[in-house]
């Protein structure tokens, strides 16, 4: 994924050193202010010292705005009067020129469990399909300046907000919408199962690995605009829509019954053949064609029947 992000190259100082210096300035301004007041009370010329103390105090207050703290997998996007100056992502406590504008973003992985949506598969059957997506921010420049996340990051009162939570929520909305579109696109290219698709054709049920790879690729293409990297994307729910689920269930049951019957008949035929060959090879009984046909018929009924066969003892002879 092509990136437009660059590392911030401006001056950043250790926050604890600047904290010590700023406290020294603050205390010094207070001491100078007190001294100037004493000089003025003693009718001495302390007006210049008083102005200097106030100036030092204002500078100290201004410097407080430059402190920032970053935890692991967090970043600060730095701007200089509207111009992108770079991204700073080193964890710790720092101080930066207060004239720089900064926005904090999270680089941690996030999880999206999309609710199942109704789509039409390749043959037009309505199916319910859902996905689970793991994503994280890769390019902070694209996240802030390629996608209008700052306008989308609105508070409950409808006002724009620049805090990290609002911006990440705006990105999550973008991911949700694009995930919905990608899922519809992928689901529409394949049939639900082998019965709907052609022989050997990839389907939503049979080709889970290939479908997931294609879905991940489509999501990567769509989310690259916002500087988002897809860690993993998988279909976690797949079923027929409720209006056809009962009919499709009966079709699947019928297909399963037919498959089972084929196995039963195949086994029964092999057992009948084995019985006839055994009787003939060991010369147990000599059967003509009519007797063989009757025996085959009886054995197939016994072997293929769903109910237990009721034996009938033949008291006659084979000659009649």
Kindly list the structural domains of the chain, giving each domain's residue range(s) and its CATH number in brackets, ordered by start.
12-104 (no CATH), 110-240 (3.30.479.30), 246-304 (no CATH)
Distance (Å, rounded) from C-alpha 33 to C-alpha 281? 123
H/E stretch holding 126 reads: strand 126-137
Contacts of 274 (CB under 8 A, 6+ apart): none
Residue 23 pLDDT class (50, 70, 90 cuts): very high
- Give the pLDDT mean for 70-93: 93
Per-residue pLDDT reduced to its tens digit, 275-289: 777 767 776 766 666
Structure confidence at residue 272 as a pLDDT band (50, 70, 90): confident
CB 3 within 8 A of CB 78: no
Reported as a pLDDT band with limits 50, 70 and 90, residue 10 is: confident
Q: What is the dihedral of CA 256, 261, 266, 268, to 10 degrees?
A: 140
Q: Residue 152 above 70 pLDDT? A: yes
CA distance 19 to 23: 6
Find out whether 29 and 53 touch, Cβ atoms under 8 Å.
Answer: yes
């Amino acid at each position: 994924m092509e990136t437009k992000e660059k590392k911030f190259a401006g001056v950043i100082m250790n926050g604890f050193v600047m904290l010590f210096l700023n406290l020294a300035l603050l205390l010094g301004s207070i001491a100078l202010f007190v001294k100037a007041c004493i000089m003025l009370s003693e009718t001495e010329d302390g007006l210049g010292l008083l102005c200097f103390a106030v100036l030092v105090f204002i500078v100290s207050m201004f410097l407080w705005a430059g402190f920032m703290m970053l935890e692991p997998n967090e970043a600060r996007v730095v701007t200089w009067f509207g111009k992108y100056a770079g991204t700073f992502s080193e964890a710790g406590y720092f101080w930066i020129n207060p004239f720089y504008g900064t926005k904090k973003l999270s680089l941690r992985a996030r999880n999206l469990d999309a609710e199942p949506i109704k789509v039409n598969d390749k043959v037009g059957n309505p199916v319910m399909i859902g996905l689970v997506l793991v994503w994280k921010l890769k390019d902070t420049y694209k996240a802030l300046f390629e996608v209008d996340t700052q306008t989308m990051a609105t508070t409950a009162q409808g006002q724009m907000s620049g805090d990290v939570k609002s911006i990440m929520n705006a990105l999550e909305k973008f991911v949700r919408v694009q995930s919905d579109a990608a899922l519809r696109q992928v689901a529409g290219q394949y049939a639900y199962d082998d019965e709907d698709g052609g022989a050997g054709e990839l389907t939503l049920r049979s080709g889970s690995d290939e479908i997931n790879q294609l879905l991940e690729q489509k999501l990567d293409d769509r989310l690259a605009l916002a500087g988002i990297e897809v860690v993993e994307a998988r279909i976690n729910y797949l079923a027929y829509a409720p209006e056809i689920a009962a009919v499709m269930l009966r079709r699947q049951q019928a297909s399963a019954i037919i498959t089972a019957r084929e196995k039963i008949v195949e086994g029964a035929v092999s057992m009948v053949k084995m019985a006839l060959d055994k009787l003939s090879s060991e010369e147990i009984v000599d059967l003509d064609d009519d007797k063989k046909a009757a025996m085959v018929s009886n054995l197939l009924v016994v072997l293929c029947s769903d109910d237990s066969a009721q034996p009938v003892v033949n008291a006659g002879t084979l000659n009649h």
